Chain A
Amino acid sequence: MKNIFHQLLKNIDTYSMNYRRYLALLLIIFLGVIISPKSGNGSIIFLEPENITDIIRQVSEIGIIALGMTLVIISAGIDLSVGSILALSACVVTLLLTDASASSSNLFLGISGPIIIALIISTIIGALNGLAVAYMRIQPFIVTLAMMFGVRGLARLVTNNANIDIGFGDDIASSFAAILSEKYLVIMMYIILCIILSVLFKKTIYGRLIRAIGDNLRAAKYTGIAIEKIQIGVYALCGFLAGLAGIIHAAQNHQGSPNAGNMYELEAIAAVVIGGTALSGGRGSISGTIIGTLIMGIMTNILRLNNVDANIEMVLKSVIIIIAVKIQTGRSES
């Protein structure tokens, strides 16, 4: 009898925790509806399909980075180099696309070649982060902080510190930008990546082992888990996703800028944390991060719809991050 009662209490508890994850999101949507300006015919601009899809497109870059960041953080790490990797990837892809001498006559090869090269470079940088964490036993914060400076410098070096612009003609670079800034394509890519990462994390051995090393590294050693392999893997994946975000960034902005992606690492970490993932490692979820990303995106959208000054926007953001994290994580740990 006592057991049944205990079980019941626990079920209610888990139920409310699951529900909590959506509470902050629902609250911010509700807020958006209330304070949204109305269009000429009286409809709520915030809820118009055009606005909703805009939000998703706007969050997709940070969103993709945050997916990789989630796995890194759950493995008890952190990756501060993602913003710089995004910039380098954007610069590499635009440099290669706009380099007329190397441009292929085949549209498909001409676009996919530079993309693949940029992705490979990004993945290698991520793997280097992982190698330093796994084998040199340096703290992830320090490894990726160093990489953040180094890769940013590299991006400035390859571009001579200038923005590489993509035009609006019918050359290969312009076609690249036209295709990859297509709103629904970007949204689809983001959604597919969300699904892949979620399956990877929840359904595969790899996801389980990431949680294990983040939860208790010593016990993971005693379990015979190949810790180094997993660490290199999560950082490489995170680098790959940051590189992909960089390619989308280049297409959407019609340029590769060595100064792009500044502070993106912090926005991605904020999205992960709002999503209820513990910075101490071991606990968290991809679905939480998606919610966290949407909360951040909607927040920005609401403020911009209401013409709030960008500086005030930043101040409000800080307050909202704290409130959202509190709602998401619920009871304080005791």
Chain B
Amino acid sequence: MGNILNLNGIDKRYDGIHALKSLDLEFKSGEIHSIIGENGAGKSTLAKIICGIINPDKGTMVYSDREIIKNSPIIAQRLGISMVTQELDLFPNLTLSENIAINNFSLNEKFIVNKQLLSAFYKNYIEKVGLNLPGDIKLGDLSVGELQLISIARALSFKHKLIIMDEPTSALTEGSSEIVYNIVRELKKKNIAVIYISHNINEVLALSDQVTVLRDGKKVGTVPVENLNRHKLIKMMAGKSIKNKNKQEPINVSENLLEIQKLRTDKLGGINLKLKKGEILGVAGLVGSGRAELGDTLFGLKKIVSGTILIHNEPVTIRNPRDAIKNGIMLLPEDRKKSGLFFSMSIKENTSLSVLEKIFRLGFIDNKDELTQVKSMNEKVLLQYNSVNDSVDLLSGGNQQKVLLSKCLMNEPKILFLNNPTRGIDVKSKSEIYSLIHSLSQQGTGIILISSELEELIDNCHRIIVMNKGIQSDEYQYGQFSNQKILHSATIA
């Protein structure tokens, strides 16, 4: 079988950064070819080049034995190349069915959208990704995980020969990820070439036929999956092997830091929860289970219908994030781009933003003072940067996340909510963030870790609760963790 796509000597520079260095790659029809590498390895750049969003500086692309001279998203689509992006470029103000059908103009031959055709068309694809949502719902109201599944559904609706998936499961729970894996396998059966970009070693090993490892814009190698194991792959990605350590010891503190009694909102149905000083409490659950709402509610972003929140056994009122911060609660949001970072601001300005009023009581900012405070915090979180005056835009995903952590820690929180703190970041930053969480816990900070990755919860928590349909369905004490059990609690109807 011939190759559907050959890349020869692809080279790309952005503003002085050498993103891809003379890359040669081959893709075959009916093959799942994973591209794996740390953040900044060039994976997303590669994907954007293949689907025509950016053009390479050098190199050629040969598709079905014909060279693509001037690629663009429209040409790529006509050639049968489609992509599920990490950035979820859907249209928030269009309805679900319109989003799915947006590029299939064949639906409306008369230039008038036929509502019946539209709804039949969208249903077909939305069911494939395991969602059951009305076609007229606006996308703005949905969660990141649901959006990710929808963008996969949209990509399925194109007539494609090659499909690129850029971290399709990064916002999904293991249950929903399984749906994606099945879709990928089905595509393979239809003789479609799949380029699967991921950070997740387990999923790459389970899913792929070929694995290409990228590091610093260079190809480390392409290896058939039979010749790989976890250890080898990590070694290729990192250049050196990283040991999985950081197993928790059980804590024996009895001091209650936070207690939640019968907390109800429109999405939460009566949550009871206790958090001890220095405890790391894991929150598992599928997308839409209410795990994100729990954090948002305690941080004052969602209206509380009824219930009591006690901190150090004293009832507190939290109506907005300012109240929460005053009570020593900080939240690291799930979506760092939408709810976390200020992209026209520097690393320094992003870090200090929530404590300015605390540090500079007179209202005037002392640049030197700000700089020292920010720098010492950035060192604590092991942030890698050239200058604190650089825009956060220039940082890799892992370092952007560290800036947000640093910003949270500036407030010296007693209770820290982390909502998927390691989503879409590289292995090294991940393990650095875990060590940081552990040392915070040793200093007595209570941490609530919401995560889609069971392994992350099992490796790092003292206790795990499972959310299901707005209530906690189960609780697992230290030593009782098992991914099968947790997955079961999260998915029972």
Could you tell me which A residues sit within 8 Å of B by CB distance? 2-3, 5-7, 9-10, 203-206, 208-209, 211-212, 215-216, 218-226, 282-283
Contact = CB atoms under 8 A, between A and B. Distances in A.
Nearest to B18: A2
Contact of A222 (B15, B339, B387): B339
B321 A215 contact: no
A226 B323 CA distance: 11
B343 A216 contact: yes
Nearest to B326: A224
A15 B214 CA distance: 35
Nearest to B14: A334
Given A204-B364, A205-B356, A215-B343, A221 B16 contact: no
Q: Which of A9, A223, A225, A226 has the most CB of B within 10 A?
A: A223
Contacts of B356: 205, 208-209
Given A216-B341, A223-B353, 7 more contacts: A10-B16, A211-B342, A215-B342, A215-B343, A223-B354, A224-B321, A282-B345
Contacts of A224: 320-322, 324-325, 354
B16 A205 contact: no
Contact of A226 (B18, B322, B333): B322
Contacts of B353: 208-209, 212, 223, 225
A209 B345 CA distance: 11
A221 B365 contact: no
Interface string B300-321: 0100000000000000000011
A6 B325 contact: no
Contacts of A216: 338-339, 341-343
Interface string B16-38: 11100000000000000000000
B408 to A, nearest CB: 10
A191 B357 CA distance: 29
A204 B325 contact: no
B342 A222 contact: no
B354 A219 contact: no
Given A208-B356, A212-B353, A222 B344 contact: no
A222 B365 CA distance: 22
Interface residues of B, number: 33
Contacts of A282: 342-345
B17 A222 contact: no
Contacts of B17: 6
B349 interface: yes
A223 B338 contact: no
B336 to A, nearest CB: 9
9 tightest CB-CB pairs across the interface, nearest first? Answer: A224-B321, A282-B344, A215-B342, A205-B356, A6-B16, A224-B325, A9-B16, A283-B344, A223-B354
B444 interface: no
B386 interface: yes
Contacts of A222: 299, 301, 321, 331, 333, 339-340
A322 B301 CA distance: 42
A305 B99 CA distance: 57
B301 to A, nearest CB: 7
Contacts of B16: 5-6, 9-10
A283 B349 CA distance: 13
Contacts of B321: 221-224
B363 interface: yes
B339 A205 contact: no
Given A10-B16, A205-B356, A226-B322, A219 B338 contact: yes
B244 to A, nearest CB: 31
A283 B387 CA distance: 20
A223 B353 CA distance: 7
Contact of B342 (A2, A205, A212): A212
A205 B357 contact: yes
Contacts of B18: 2
B345 A212 contact: yes
B344 A215 contact: yes
Contacts of A203: 364-365
A219 B387 CA distance: 23
Q: Which of A9, A208, A219 lies at the interface centre, i.e. has the most chain B CB atoms within 10 A of its CB?
A: A219
Residue of B18, B321, B324, B344 with most partner-chain A CB within 10 A = B344
A208 B365 contact: yes
B276 to A, nearest CB: 25
B478 interface: no
Contact of B363 (A3, A5, A205, A218): A205
Contacts of A2: 18
A139 to B, nearest CB: 14
A136 B128 CA distance: 41
Contacts of B338: 216, 218-219
| Residue of B320, B339, B343, B407 contacting most chain A CB atoms (<10 Å) | B339
B91 interface: no
A5 B13 CA distance: 14
B407 to A, nearest CB: 8
A220 B322 CA distance: 11
Given A6-B16, A224-B324, A225-B353, A215 B333 contact: no
A3 to B, nearest CB: 6
23 contacts: A6-B16, A9-B16, A203-B364, A203-B365, A204-B363, A205-B360, A208-B349, A208-B353, A211-B342, A211-B344, A211-B349, A215-B343, A216-B338, A216-B343, A219-B342, A222-B331, A223-B321, A223-B354, A223-B407, A225-B354, A282-B342, A282-B343, A282-B345
Nearest to A206: B363
Contacts of B331: 222
Nearest to B366: A203
Nearest to B361: A205
Interface hub of B16, B349, B363, B387 (most chain A Cβ within 10 A): B16
Nearest to A204: B363
Contacts of A7: 386-387
A219 B322 contact: no
A302 to B, nearest CB: 34
Interface in B356-389: 356-357, 360, 363-365, 386-387
Contacts of B324: 224
Nearest to A216: B342
Contacts of A3: 386
A5 B363 CA distance: 38
Contacts of A223: 321, 353-354, 407
Contacts of B301: 221-222
A186 to B, nearest CB: 29
Interface in B245-264: none
Nearest to B329: A224
Interface string B194-228: 00000000000000000000000000000000000
Nearest to A3: B386
Nearest to A218: B339
Contacts of B354: 223-225
A219 B299 CA distance: 13
A219 B331 CA distance: 11
A211 B365 contact: no
A7 B389 CA distance: 12
- Which residue among A3, A10, A205 has the maximum number of chain B CB atoms within 10 Å of its CB? A205
A203 B364 CA distance: 6
Nearest to B17: A6
Contacts of A221: 301, 321, 339
A211 B348 CA distance: 14
A204 to B, nearest CB: 5
